[in-house]
Structure 1
Amino acid sequence: SERTLWDELRVARPGWGFLMEEGGEIPGEEGKPRFIIDPLDGTTNFLHGIPHFAISIAVQEPTLDGKGWGDVTAALVYQPITDESFWAEKAQGAWLQDRRLRVSARRHLDEALIATGIPFAGRGDINEWARIYAELGPRIAGIRRFGVASLDLAWVAAGRFDGFWESSLYPWDTAAGCLLVREAGGFVSDYKGRSQPICDETVLAGNDALHSKLHKLLVGALRNA
């Protein structure tokens, strides 16, 4: 599926670069954007016959000096099983098909349903995750782990989840989802509270009130390590 996406997109946007989960980085022409692609987010679900996985595509612009990468300006997370297309353009909002998305309006932690990803196969710090879980778990309405970070973020944008945290991710896991949440009125940062175009090594997302409350708890959990 990655090769198919690459073949189609390089014809549609000649000279653009690519950053892909399987194919790595393919530089484009100087000054042109790049696509960030995960052709199958949720591979383990797919291999086990669990109908929850997605295709994630984002567009990232180069910085003005041409020496790095800046804002993500377009995003698509597509769930083929449900035929749901979550998409966004910078300053144009986030959408599910033709319906405008907004993050949830919940303000209280005890009403909040939070998504996460659990470290596995030697990736990530399970002890760090457990400390955060111990701090958040007793205070929120529930935690879900579905194994598809791009969809977790898309569901935060859609108000299905009220927040999300995870670490040890890659740009193709979160690039599209970060823009979706922001364009739906939410906040995305790393664990230190820094808002970056793509938060991947650590990511925390939610509406304004819950992001702030979750961040305080998360910082407390890590400080007490």
Structure 2
Amino acid sequence: MSDNPNTIGGKSFTAVAINCASKAGEWIKSRIGQFAAPDLKFSKHDLVTEVDKGSERLIRNLVATHYPTHSFLGEEGVEPGPEASAQSIAKMGGSEYLWIVDPVDGTTNYVHGFPFYSVSIALAYRGEVIVGVIYDPSRDELFVAEKGKGAYVHGKRMQVSAEPALAQSLLATGFPAEHLSALPRNLKQTLALAPQVRNIRSSGSAALHMAYVAAGRLTGFWEVGLNAWDLAAGALMIAESGGIVTDQNGHPYSLGVRDIAASNGLIHDEFLKALADA
């Protein structure tokens, strides 16, 4: 193994992640309007297409070409539902090297032709995320983070926003596919936060929302019931851009976190209190 923790045999993990995300993104974009009707996964709000599955195969095969001994956790390889997701992280989270992939984050948007979806790829080393790449094919925007080396978009260093208070913040959230507990909790939080902030957006791709927090385009993001493949790459980006990512109780981010709160750091305590009060 190389002395550099971000390479094996001289091959950069980050370069491989970028190549995988770019190739998958190009293929996804080429398939717009040319796929069969989507299937339902966990609920009518949780869709999957042949494009999701094809994108994941493409990424898995590319990763295996470079790192055949690495573990791989892709969204489409896990049974639907929160219990299966939690079990997959518990089982694989301790792998030495684990690639964590959402092959199309924002499938519902993709199906409807709404151009806000992404490819999210993270690499964790013994449970700690060391590389994160999020690619937006619609805008040809590539967000890249490497632990200890910063986060970048268009080759420029990203920095979280400077809003000092919740009242000045632009936040984002989503609407969970799990309707018994996650969706009602998220809706309560949305109702409570809306009067306290500048505005709230919900655009349908958690990974891109996280990238936008890192880039300073959003002040913060929260959602209930997400998974490692939604969050891992973006969590590293926000941390490397000067922000804070925790669970909604304020504990530091780890691969098992499902209820996320991410911000520029300046509003974080106020943000967590507002979520708790909701």
- TM-score of the aligned structures, taking structure 2 as reference length: 0.72
Question: For 2:222, which of 165, 174, 190 is the aligned residue?
Answer: 165
Find out whether 1:23 has 2:77 as its counterpart.
Answer: yes
Identity among equivalent positions (%) equals 38
> Once the 2 structures are TM-superposed, how far is the Cα of residue 199 of structure 1 from its aligned partner?
5.9
The secondary structure found in structure 2 opposite 1:76 is strand
Find out whether 1:187 has 2:244 as its counterpart.
Answer: yes
> Once the 2 structures are TM-superposed, how far is the Cα of residue 131 of structure 1 from its aligned partner?
2.2
Contact persistence 2:235–2:253 (CA under 8 A): no
Find out whether 1:108 has 2:162 as its counterpart.
Answer: no
Gaps of 5+ in 1: 63-69
Find out whether 1:56 has 2:120 as its counterpart.
Answer: yes
Contact persistence 2:185–2:224 (CA under 8 A): no
Find out whether 1:91 has 2:145 as its counterpart.
Answer: no
Greater strand proportion: 1
Find out whether 1:2 has 2:56 as its counterpart.
Answer: yes
CA distance in 2, matches of 1:217, 1:101: 27
> Once the 2 structures are TM-superposed, how far is the Cα of residue 4 of structure 1 from its aligned partner?
0.7
The secondary structure found in structure 1 opposite 2:218 is coil
Greater helix proportion: 2
* AA at the equivalent of 2:235: C
Contact persistence 1:150–1:176 (CA under 8 A): yes
Residue equivalent to 2:203:
146
CA distance in 2, matches of 1:163, 1:14: 37
The secondary structure found in structure 1 opposite 2:188 is helix
Residue equivalent to 2:67:
13
Cα–Cα, structure 1 residues 193 and 86, in superposed 2: closer, same or farther, change >3 Å? same
* AA at the equivalent of 2:239: R
Contact persistence 1:124–1:167 (CA under 8 A): no
The secondary structure found in structure 2 opposite 1:192 is coil
> Once the 2 structures are TM-superposed, how far is the Cα of residue 158 of structure 1 from its aligned partner?
0.2
Once superposed, what is the RMSD of the aligned Cα atoms?
A: 2.0
The secondary structure found in structure 2 opposite 1:208 is coil
Residue equivalent to 2:213:
156
CA distance in 1, matches of 2:95, 2:197: 45
* AA at the equivalent of 1:107: P
